[in-house]
Amino acid sequence: MEDKAKRPSLYGPQLWQQVQHELLNLPIGIAAFTVMVTLLSTGLGMAVTVVGLPLLAFGLTCCRLFGRLGRVRARASLGSRIAEPEPLAATRPGVAGRVVASLSDGLSWRSALYCLLMLPWGIVSFTLTVVLLTVGWPVLPWAMRALAAVSRLLVEGLLSPGALQERVRELEDDRGTVVDHAAADLRRIERDLHDGAQARLVALAMDLGLAKEKLTEDPVAAQKMVDAAHGEVKLALQELRDLARGIHPAVLTDRGLDAALSSVAARCTLPGGVKVHVEMGEGRPDSAVEGIAYFTVSELLTNASKHSGARSASVDVWRQDDRLMLTVQDDGRGGAEIRPGGGLAGLAERAESVDGVFVVDSPAGGPTSVAVELPWHTRAGRG
């Protein structure tokens, strides 16, 4: 009895949303068909004149508006997940640019076909819905489900942005992410140079100048100043090495990901150490993918050392078909999650910028496991 009570009613709100959608198909179909036929036929008939092509472009723009209305209705009444396309962008300034953009846009012409088909489909769906509401009450839920499926197929087949446009949008977002990360890295490098090695070298030059002045007057004091300057040189060199390692470590370029990750693990301060297992077979991935994998592991181990309370961690890297897989696990307290603007969010954006996947599993109390999947773009000449 309880299962029947929890089961959604066949005559619930969803059914009446579908009924409303099918009844509105006819008036909207009449309006869309009228606008489309009037404007497009007039525009095509006057195409040889000055106003013909602009009128045709205006008709296609109106068809796009009816297409937008169709997508909104499908999402609200039919449960469709169709996405909105990018706004029509002119490649040239002025009216001529907008006309050319509209006439060359595939979605505009598909929207025109949608407006053409909406009239016959509106007549069919409106008539069947009225008949079902009058004499077909027992089969109304199933019949309306079938009509809604046809309406959804019509909208998604003709009004969807298309796989190519969705892919272009994803690539534009990824490009923006890469540019933002590059700008952030440049700002970090500039800040580290200005506040670290540069300031240390300026102080070193001043100390050496003072030592030079005291060389004849007080050799002992000059010797102490030279010794102090020697220590400053060592610190400056260490800072420059750390900075260069943060940009792109030489060991990663020369010896590959296995040696670079082993170097990161050796520097990690976890009491129980870090176990690294890399099995990629022959060949190496693209340098960008290697860099993302290296910095991801380095950042995750740093987070484990500073914030997780972990004693040990493990890193596993392997190749699976055309993907580079890696997991980083630690036995810390857990509770890590991807927050907007946080470090893990930045790592996830880096992975997604090359069509990668970044997944965090960190229940309260631990352990924490981060899985990353990156594309394997083989280096030219390296197999």
DSSP 238-287: HHHHHHHHHH--HHHHHH-HHHHHHHHHHH---TT-EEEEEE--SS-B-H
Count the Cβ atoms, other than its own, within 10 Å of residue 112.
24
- Per cent of the chain over pLDDT 70 is 78
| Highest-pLDDT range among 95-99, 190-194, 267-271, 326-330 | 326-330
**How is the beta sheet containing 313-320 ordered, strand by strand?**
274-279, 313-320, 323-330, 368-375, 357-361
> Would you list the DSSP string of 124-179?
HHHHHHHHHHHH-GGGHHHHHHHHHHHHHHHHHHHHS--HHHHHHHHHHHHHHHHH
Distance CA 251, CA 263 (A): 8
Contact, 288 vs 178, CB < 8 A? no
What is the reported pLDDT for 1? 41
Contact, 123 vs 29, CB < 8 A? yes
pTM for the whole thing? Answer: 0.49
Q: Does the pLDDT value for residue 6 go beyond 50?
A: no
Q: Does the pLDDT value for residue 236 go beyond 90?
A: no
Q: How confident is the model at residue 3 (pLDDT cuts 50, 70, 90)?
A: very low
Residue range 111-120, pLDDT digits in tens = 999 999 999 9
What is the reported pLDDT for 291? 80
Angle at 41 between CA 37 and CA 46, to 5 degrees: 155
Least confident window among 54-58, 149-153, 278-282, 312-316: 278-282
Residue range 368-381, pLDDT digits in tens = 888 888 888 655 44
Residue range 42-101, pLDDT digits in tens = 888 887 777 888 888 888 889 989 999 999 999 888 888 887 887 777 667 777 778 888
- Do strands 274-279 and 313-320 pair parallel, antiparallel, or not at all (unpaired)? parallel
What is the reported pLDDT for 8? 54
Q: Does the pLDDT value for residue 164 go beyond 60?
A: no
Q: Does the pLDDT value for residue 280 go beyond 50?
A: yes
Q: How confident is the model at residue 2 (pLDDT cuts 50, 70, 90)?
A: very low
97 or 33, higher pLDDT: 33
Distance CA 61, CA 48 (A): 20
Average pLDDT of span 251-257: 74
Average pLDDT of span 13-40: 90
Q: What are the beta bridge partners of residue 373? A: 325, 357
What is the reported pLDDT for 382? 41
Q: Does the pLDDT value for residue 172 go beyond 70?
A: no
Q: Does the pLDDT value for residue 27 go beyond 90?
A: yes
What is the reported pLDDT for 362? 84
Q: Give the chain's mean pLDDT.
A: 78
Q: Does the pLDDT value for residue 124 go beyond 90?
A: yes
Q: Does the pLDDT value for residue 161 go beyond 90?
A: no
* Collapsed DSSP state (helix, strand, coil) of residue 371: strand
Average pLDDT of span 249-256: 71
Angle at 66 between CA 113 and CA 63, to 5 degrees: 50
What is the reported pLDDT for 122? 92
What is the reported pLDDT for 279? 85
Least confident window among 133-147, 304-318, 368-382: 368-382
- Per cent of the chain over pLDDT 90 is 12
Q: Does the pLDDT value for residue 194 go beyond 60?
A: no
Distance CA 179, CA 190 (A): 16
Q: How confident is the model at residue 4 (pLDDT cuts 50, 70, 90)?
A: very low
